[in-house]
A and B are shown apart, each in its own frame.
Chain A
Amino acid sequence: SQQGEEDPQALSIQEGENATMNCSYKTSINNLQWYRQNSGRGLVHLILIRSNEREKHSGRLRVTLDTSKKSSSLLITASRAADTASYFCATDTGTASKLTFGTGTRLQVTL
């Protein structure tokens, strides 16, 4: 079953703009992670936020977590064409090393 649901399913912006994508989940978590997938490739880990954290930054990435609403957002600032990819949230509930992935947001950044 899908724990995480991303919103929007697809997002198209111009280079230089900010991109925000959201993730909602259903059960208590240990941490929430965001992964990126270039077309036809595997996923790459971007950032992890623990359940006791509210915000985390890494370069142009900013992640927030609201455990009361069971939601997270990923903000990519000053987007570049190379940011074009699908982005997935994944939740770790501490169950047997498994992560549960959402359905992803497809981001298109145009010049």
Chain B
Amino acid sequence: DVKVTQSSRYLVKRTGEKVFLECVQDMDHENMFWYRQDPGLGLRLIYFSYDVKMKEKGDIPEGYSVSREKKERFSLILESASTNQTSMYLCASRTPSRHPENIQYFGAGTRLSVL
């Protein structure tokens, strides 16, 4: 079974802090994703990465950056946390690119509160 692990289930940070959310997958997947989930808005894609050191902006990249130094690890960085970044953050990886069906596997989520 694919395992996607997010380093923290809950985080509380202060406005202006730099925040790191870590995600590790164990299936050697090339593609990894970061979403945020807010009530009534569903899942919105922040950034995704299709290989080591490769990244692309999603629908809402403002205020975020990412790092993919190793294939198994994809980090989301909030450069200067703000209260409107309080949300549930979900990491996912997908079946290999050569696989015709794009199925995503999710971590348990990190609920971030910015005070």
Which residues of A are in contact with B by a Cβ distance under 8 Å? Answer: 1-2, 30-31, 33, 40-45, 48, 88, 90, 92, 96-104
Contact = CB atoms under 8 A, between A and B. Distances in A.
Contact of A1 (B40, B59, B97, B101): B59
Tell which of A33, A99, A104 has the most Cβ of chain B within 10 Å. Answer: A99
A72 to B, nearest CB: 16
The secondary structure that dominates the A interface is loop
Interface residues of B, number: 29
Contacts of B104: 43, 45, 90, 99
Interface stretch (B11-19, B74-82, B107-115): B107-115
B43 A101 contact: yes
Given A31-B101, A31-B102, A92-B102, 6 more contacts: A41-B108, A42-B4, A43-B90, A92-B101, A101-B35, A101-B43
B40 A103 contact: yes
Contacts of B40: 103
B44 to A, nearest CB: 8
A3 B43 CA distance: 11
- Closest 5 A/B residue pairs (Cβ): A42-B106, A103-B42, A101-B43, A43-B106, A97-B31
A73 B111 CA distance: 30
A99 B101 CA distance: 11
Contacts of B48: 96-98
A30 B102 CA distance: 10
B69 interface: no
B65 to A, nearest CB: 19
B26 to A, nearest CB: 15
B12 to A, nearest CB: 16
A88 B43 contact: yes
A2 B101 contact: no
